[in-house]
Every structure is written in C-alpha cells, then in structure tokens.
C-alpha cells in the first residue's frame, strides 16, 4: 500500500526511530518453529540415549558407531544449532525485557552473540569433523 | 460496614520512601473505591493526592492498583473488593505524589504509533471520507480505549524496558490500522514491528 509521507513532522516521542528490518518478526517465528522441531529432536534423543539404551552402555564406541551414520550426525547437529540459537535468543529477549540500563542491554547482547558464535563453532567442529580412528 | 483502607503514600518533599497509611472508613457495599478516597480526602486528610475527573469510567484518570490488581477506582465497588482495601499507584511510572504518577512515559508509547488519522489523499468525492457501518464496526472495540494505562502498567516488561510501546499503544495502533479511511498503516506497523513493538 502506498503511504503518503505525512511530512517531516513525524515524531517518535524521543524513542528510537523504527528500523525497516523484519528481524524481530523472524526471531519470533523462529522461536515457534524451532520449539516444535526441538520437541521432536530432543524427545527422540532422550528416547535413544536414555530409554532404549542404558546409560551404562553408552561409551565412545557407541557414539562412534552412531555417528558413522550421517543421519544421526545431522540430527545431533540440527539439535545443537537449534537449541543454542533458541536458548540464547530467549536470553537476548529476556535481557531486552528486564535489563533496565541500555548499556547493560548492549553488553548482554554482545556476550550472547559471542557465546552463540563460540559454541556453534566448537559444537560444529566436534560433530561434523569427527573422524573415527578405527575407520568405522 | 467498616472498611480498612491502606494507601501507599509518598510526598517527595517530605518522605524518603513510600509508606502505607491506614484509614478506617464507614462505607456502603455499593460505594465505589473512589468514594472512599474522596471521603478520606474531604473528611480525614486533605493532603491525600489522586487523580479523578469524570468519576464514571470515561476519562481514564483514576487507574490505581487495588488489592494488587489494576483497576479504575470509580468502577470498583466496595462489595467486590472486601473490607480491607489496599490502594497503590499504578506501577512502572514515576510517582509524583501519593497515587499520582507521571504519565509521560506511557504517552510516549502512545505517541509513537501516531495516534491520529493519516489521510493526505483527497476524499473520493472531494468532500468527505465515507465509511460503511461494517467498516466502522471493524475497529469499534479499540475506539473505546480511555488511555487509563491500567493495561500497560500491569506489564512487567513496561516496568523495566523504557522503549516497549505497551498494550495500550498496540490497541490504539489497531484503531487506525483497521480504519478504512486511514493511510498510515505502514508507519504504525513499522513501529509495532520494531524491537520495542509487538514481538515480545
Ligand atoms: S486499552 Fe489499556 S489504556 Fe486503554 S482503556 Fe483499556 S486498560 Fe486503559
């Protein structure tokens, strides 16, 4: 819809001028979708690792064997990425909601981005680069 | 019946911190909480300060926290609240005195959504912008906001986040976005779509 420009008189009452970005919309959507997907991934993971198999049987060889199948690597990696971003985005929203000072919010947001980057990197290297020493 | 009214009072010129003042008042079950405030101010302690204007739920001046719930003092009957009534100023806004708060941060969120008709194009017939009853009915609910701030000041995010527009601003954005004569929807939606907007 064409919007006539109501002139330079537009004021945002001392508030930040809205950006044209849809970031918060996609963030909102992502939280809903990833939440549903995580339900399946995490419950499946729990079922396999803690119900169908006893924790006592789970050792290096078990994981090595499982990760020989790309499906489980993709499963684990997707779960890791979604859980990290879902969780840290939740923390970002909470810090926006409940930290009173703008300075604190900026610091929290930077820490959250750094943590997300670091954990995604370490986790991805672990899951995707894993090479079985026994060649399985 | 005898009612114990506890009011959170604060006079910035005298008090270091807010304190609870207690008043024992004779009341009818059909009295409104505003009647109790009036009784206290007129007969017991004239220094008690609160806002009220129309006293009939139209002007939106006397929103206060009554027994923990945001209410209009002029609409809340004693028989529905009980014989022990605690009254505090609405939260998240600076207290000026007693039950009077500075409403500016609330109105800043309201102003941000541009609460006025934006229609710079000439009317179709050159004279007036017609609207069918069905088009008018679409936003009828949200024309009824009296800007009392009861909704926005009950939101914990508004208490801490100084840019969140709050529910009253969203209601008033709806009032114009769904008005068939209005052309400013994208300006309002940009505000609601921002970090301070609806995605919380
Ligand atoms: S929408 Fe909020 S500010 Fe408007 S009348 Fe209702 S409670 Fe009051």
Contact B74, B57 (CB under 8 A): yes
Ligand 1 binding residues, C-beta < 6 A? B 145-151, 167-168, 171
pLDDT at A7: 41
Domain that holds residue A118: 24-128
CATH superfamily of B104-194: Alpha-helical ferredoxin (1.10.1060.10)
Q: Counting one residue from A and one from B, how many pairs have CB atoms under 8 Å apart?
A: 79
Integer-rounded Cα Rg, in Å, for chain B is 20
The pLDDT tens digits of the residues spanning B64-90 come to: 999 999 999 999 999 999 999 999 999
Q: What is the tally of structural domains in chain A?
A: 1
Reported confidence tier of residue A9, pLDDT bands at 50, 70, 90: very low
The answer to pTM > 0.90 is no
Which residues are B72's β-sheet partners? B63
Which residue from A6, A22, A96 is facing B161, i.e. has the nearest CB?
Answer: A96
Domain membership flag for residue A110: yes
Q: Which residue of A has its CA nearest to B155?
A: A97
Domain membership flag for residue A47: yes
The pLDDT tens digits of the residues spanning B154-190 come to: 999 999 988 899 999 999 999 999 999 999 999 999 9
- Phi and psi at B108, nearest 5°, equal -60, -40
Contact B33, B66 (CB under 8 A): yes
Domain membership flag for residue A75: yes
CATH 3.10.20.30 fits B2-101, yes or no: yes
State the complex-level ipTM: 0.75
Distance from CA of B117 to the nearest CA of A (A): 10
Domains of chain B by residue range: 2-101, 104-194
Contact B19, B8 (CB under 8 A): yes
Ligand 1 atom 5: residue of nearest CA: B145
Which residue from B161, B184, B191 is facing A18, i.e. has the nearest CB?
Answer: B191
For residues B116 and A9, the model is more confident at B116
Asked if A28's CB is within 8 angstroms of B112's CB, the reply is no
pLDDT at A122: 96
Q: For residue B49, how far is its CA from the centre of ligand 1 (angstroms)?
A: 22
Distance from CA of A88 to the nearest CA of B (A): 15
Q: What's chain B's average pLDDT?
A: 95
Contact B34, B55 (CB under 8 A): yes
Which residue from B111, B186, B200 is facing A93, i.e. has the nearest CB?
Answer: B200
Reported confidence tier of residue B38, pLDDT bands at 50, 70, 90: very high
C-alpha of B115 from chain center:
16
Residue A76 maps to which CATH number?
1.20.1300.10
Distance CA B154, CA B151 (A): 5
The pLDDT tens digits of the residues spanning A20-51 come to: 889 999 999 999 999 999 999 999 999 998 88
Q: For residue B139, how far is its CA from the centre of ligand 1 (angstroms)?
A: 15
Domain membership flag for residue A90: yes
């Amino acid at each position: 819809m064409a919007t006539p420009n109501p002139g330079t008189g537009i004021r945002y009452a001392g508030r930040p001028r809205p950006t044209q970005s849809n970031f918060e919309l996609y963030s909102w959507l992502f939280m809903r979708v990833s939440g549903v997907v995580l339900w399946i991934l995490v419950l499946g993971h729990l079922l396999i690792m803690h119900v169908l198999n006893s924790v006592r049987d789970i050792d290096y060889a078990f994981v090595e064997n499982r990760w020989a199948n790309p499906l489980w690597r993709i499963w684990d990696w997707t779960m890791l990425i979604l859980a990290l971003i879902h969780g840290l985005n939740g923390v970002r929203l909470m810090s926006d909601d409940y930290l009173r000072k703008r300075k604190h919010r900026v610091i929290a947001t930077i820490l959250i981005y750094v943590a997300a980057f670091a954990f995604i990197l370490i986790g991805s290297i672990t899951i995707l680069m894993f090479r079985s020493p026994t060649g399985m | 019946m005898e009612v114990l009214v506890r009011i959170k009072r604060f006079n910035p010129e005298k008090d270091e911190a807010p304190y609870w003042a207690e008043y024992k008042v004779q009341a009818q079950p059909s009295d409104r909480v505003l009647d109790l405030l009036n009784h206290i101010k007129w007969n017991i302690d004239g220094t008690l300060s609160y806002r009220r204007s129309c006293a009939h739920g139209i002007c939106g001046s006397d929103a206060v926290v009554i027994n923990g719930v945001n209410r209009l003092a002029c609409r809340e009957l004693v028989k529905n609240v009980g014989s022990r009534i605690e009254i505090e100023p609405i939260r998240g806004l600076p207290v000026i005195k007693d039950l009077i708060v500075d409403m500016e941060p609330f109105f800043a969120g309201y102003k941000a959504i541009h609460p006025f008709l934006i229609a710079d194009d000439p009317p179709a017939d050159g004279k007036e912008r017609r609207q069918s009853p069905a088009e008018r009915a679409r936003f009828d609910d949200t024309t009824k906001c009296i800007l009392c701030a009861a909704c926005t000041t009950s939101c914990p995010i508004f208490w801490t986040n100084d840019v969140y527009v709050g529910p009253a601003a969203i209601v008033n954005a709806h009032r114009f976005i769904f008005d068939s004569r209005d052309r400013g929807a994208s300006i309002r939606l940009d505000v609601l779509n921002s970090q301070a907007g609806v995605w919380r």
